[in-house]
Structure 1
Amino acid sequence: MSTRTVLVTGAGRGIGRATAVRLARSGWRVFGGVRTDVAAKELAAESALITPVELDVTVPEHLAALDRELPERLDALVNNAGIAVAGPLETLSRADVHHQFDVNLVGPLALTRALLPRLRRARGRVVFISSVNGRVSFPFTGIYNASKYAVEAVADCLRVELRPFGVQVALLEPGVVDTDPWHEMDQILDELEAGLDPEHRRLYAPHFAGERRLVERIRKGAAPPERVAAAVERQLTRRRVRPRTAVGADARVILGMKTLLPACGLDAVWTRGIGV
């Protein structure tokens, strides 16, 4: 049996790095998308089965260069790269919105399209790392929520369109994961608030105070990125992928609330959560 091959985007840290390392330890030949030389060296040091490749999913030249980097057959693509643009919706610029969708939706879709010939040859699999935010919207992350809702829509469509070719598509929906942004969240909130004009800063001061309290509570229960990596491996190795998999107890609880509560009930939960 030939060695299975996979491209993992956003492999420089967090979920992507944990996924690349786990799959390499299971015998996969891993191509890990990174954006810096430092990340490439650190990732390569994890395993001889990991080959770092320069990949920013928003840069067309990086996508084109994959033709030289990847084998003719690709068993799997893990679309993990992503960012979160946060802040009150009325304060976000058009450039903020475009950047959020470019990284989380447009880039991964362009990458998937570029690799489909390789995936077809292998009857491979595509895993999108979505989020519980792809099913439930939270205050202060409205544009991020919207991008993940869009990822879910694209994955649902691809799952049906690619089925005749034997290419399976799965979504993973983690809750809070112990990655760098959660460790940096206090500073992120401080910078967001400081960057507002005086009137918006006054209007949203209670929201920011509530967000800080909420972040302090929920990051204590953050799941390790290795838990998401394990879920990725299961979707790549089971006979048929699951269309959607919630990862983490918090994700399952929130999705259960989404099912059971009316919209006004969820609104009340978020309002109480940030104390406004």
Structure 2
Amino acid sequence: MPSGPLLAFSGLMTVLNRGLAWVDFAVHYASGYFFYWFLRGMKPQTHTRPRNLPDGRMYSPSVVITGASQGIGLSTALSLADKGYNVFATVKDENEAKRAKEAVDDAFAGKPTRVGAVHVTIMDVLSKESISQCVNYVEAVLQDTPDKPLVAVVNNAGFCMIAPFELSPDEDIKRAFDLDLFAYFAVIRAFLPIIKRNKGRIINIGSFGGYANVPMWAVYCALKGAIENFGRVLRFEMMPFGVGVTTIRPGFTRTWGIGPKITHSWAKYYDNIPQAAGVDSLGNTIMACTSAGEAEEKVYRPIMDKWHTFTVAGVEGIAQPSEAVAETVHDALTDKFLQPYYTIGYDANLGQMARDLAPESWWEYGVAKSYGCL
């Protein structure tokens, strides 16, 4: 359970991070208007923001969010609906839909006058048929509702795994690539015609790990690095159509429902040593695909122990809350000039500063020494 002092620290860092975000907005807005006015840069956009219309109706643009049954996805769905958006919170199956609906009802029990809405919708992002059905459903719901155009897709569904690459089974690696990369591609491709028509935005939930890589996260860092680079390229390709693309780079995040799964994963990991290789955020233990020798055990086990300490501290409160990431998604929806990426979290911002400013050899040495690789 989260502890008081750690929660207080996390809360303070969240406030400071918002202050940094406003400074970043000011700089980016100044640059955006300079390029727009003098160098034919991108046009500012405001149609992705809810507002009151002259006839008294509410303009409530629609957003599709994947992986919205818990964690960042659910927090984002609740936050955006509370701010006036019409949200399609997609989940994998009926069981997740039931839990999500209960969470939505509980969150808005005392807010009957909210202007936004949450439609809990089933979409298995690993099934092209399910994705297609969801697209058809969204189009049917929004038919003849010009005050609720679909203006954004937030790709969030996914999970992380912590394990040495050498011991990670192919099936676990493939499972991660299917959900954390290829599912993003499939969802974007399916909704892109609507997003292009409405000059909307694609918002991918990446990770700071895609920019600053650390040991035992090889697969996850590879995936998130791929997502960010994919987003950068797609951003250029979509500029002529008025579509914006961005990546959210969260640091360690404390999420409702996922924290207990991580704790459970670590308990099973230590129960299954030496066969266990690592853990994932779905509550599973990654079993080694090959036996680790004495040298490998000596190197990998202490680094995994460090990650156990870090992740448990995050669950107990030192990590930023998922609501902080939801606020950043809102920033990405409402910015007149969409930034190519948004870094959120004190650990991510400090790490980004070190990564950007330090010579490569210094950065590498610091990471290697921190995790016992040297």
Decide: shared fold, TM above 0.5.
yes
Separation (CA, whole Å) in 1 of partners of 2:359 and 2:258: 31
Q: Residue 230 of structure 1 is aligned with which of 314, 327, 334?
A: 327
Q: Which deviates further from its counterpart, 68-77 or 159-168?
A: 68-77
Separation (CA, whole Å) in 2 of partners of 1:270 and 1:188: 25
Structure 1 counterpart SS, 2:79: helix
Structure 1 counterpart SS, 2:329: helix
Separation (CA, whole Å) in 2 of partners of 1:216 and 1:54: 31
Q: Which deviates further from its counterpart, 196-205 or 104-113?
A: 196-205
Q: Residue 130 of structure 2 is aligned with which of 37, 40, 62?
A: 62
Match of 2:66 in 1: 9
Q: Residue 241 of structure 2 is aligned with which of 138, 154, 165?
A: 165
Separation (CA, whole Å) in 1 of partners of 2:335 and 2:368: 40
Separation (CA, whole Å) in 1 of partners of 2:181 and 2:151: 22
Structure 1 counterpart SS, 2:162: coil
Quote how far apart the aligned CAs of 1:192 are. Answer: 4.0
Structure 1 counterpart SS, 2:343: strand
- Does 1:212 pair with 2:308? yes
- Normalising to structure 1: TM-score of the pair? 0.91
Identity %: 29
Change (3 A) 1:69 1:241: same
- Does 1:185 pair with 2:281? no
Q: Which deviates further from its counterpart, 40-49 or 147-156?
A: 40-49
Quote how far apart the aligned CAs of 1:3 are. Answer: 2.2
Match of 1:199 in 2: 292
Match of 2:91 in 1: 34
Contiguous gaps of at least 5 residues in structure 1: none
1:247-270 CA distances to partner (integer Å, 9 max, x unpaired)? 111111111111123444333333
- Does 1:50 pair with 2:50? no
Kept in 2, the 8 Å contact 1:75–1:119? The answer is yes
Contiguous gaps of at least 5 residues in structure 2: 1-52, 54-58, 109-115, 144-148, 277-287
- Normalising to structure 2: TM-score of the pair? 0.68
- The letter of the residue matching 1:189 is W
Kept in 1, the 8 Å contact 2:158–2:180? The answer is yes
Q: Which deviates further from its counterpart, 195-204 or 97-106?
A: 195-204
Match of 1:24 in 2: 81
Quote how far apart the aligned CAs of 1:127 are. Answer: 0.8
Q: Residue 182 of structure 2 is aligned with which of 93, 99, 106?
A: 106
Q: Residue 121 of structure 1 is aligned with which of 197, 200, 205?
A: 197
Kept in 2, the 8 Å contact 1:177–1:224? The answer is yes
Quote how far apart the aligned CAs of 1:218 are. Answer: 5.2
Q: Which deviates further from its counterpart, 166-175 or 45-54?
A: 45-54
